[in-house]
Amino acid sequence: MSRLHNGQQFPSLSLPAVGGGSIGLPDDLAGSFGIVLIYRGSWCPYCNAQLAAFSRASETLAELNAKVVALSVDDEATSADLVEKHKLRFPVAHSADVDKVSEATGASVSADRSYLQSSGFVLNPQGEVITAVYSSEAIGRLVADDVVGFLRYIKAHEG
C-alpha cells in the first residue's frame, strides 16, 4: 500500500453507483477539479457531517468547476439511505472492495479489515492529485470550506 502524492495521476477505479450505473475515477471528473471522498460508512457521525457539508457547498464548488464523488464499502441500500438522509447532490459509490481501493489509493483499513478509513483527494482537471488527506481512525478528513478556499486560491493564481 502506497499513499498518493501531489502530482501523481489518481488511479483508475470503477465502482457501482447508487441508483445504477458506475462511477469511473478519475475519468468521470476529467476537465473539472475533482474531490474524491472515501468515507468509513453511513454509521460514522464524522463522515455524515463531512458528506453533508460537501453537499451544502455543492453550488459553490460547481462555480469553481469542481465535482465531488464519495465512496464506501456500504451496500447499495445503506448508501441510498445516506444519500436521501442528507440530500447528497453528488454521485455516491457503494460496495467498494476494501483491498482494491486501499491498494490503489493508500487508504488505511480498519483493524478488522471491514471498512476503509476516511481519505480525501483533490484532483486537478487532468486527474492528478493536488492534495491528499489520510486518516487512520475516526477524525481527520477533507473539510468543504478548506477545499473551497484552496480552489479559490488556485484559480486566483492561475497564470
The model's pLDDT over 49-83, given as tens digits with 9 standing for 90+, comes to: 999 999 999 999 999 999 999 999 999 999 999 99
User: What is the model's pLDDT at position 24?
Assistant: 98
- Tell me how far apart the alpha carbons of residues 6 and 129 are, in angstroms, rounded to a whole number: 5
The whole model's pTM is what? 0.97
Would you place residue 159 in the very low, low, confident or very high pLDDT band (cuts 50, 70, 90)?
confident
State pLDDT tens for residues 104-147: 999 999 999 999 999 999 999 999 999 999 999 999 999 999 99
- Tell me how far apart the alpha carbons of residues 75 and 43 are, in angstroms, rounded to a whole number: 12
Tell me the C-alpha to C-alpha distance, in Å, between residue 112 and each of 27, 76, 134, 141. 31, 21, 18, 21
Check pLDDT > 70 for residue 42.
Answer: yes
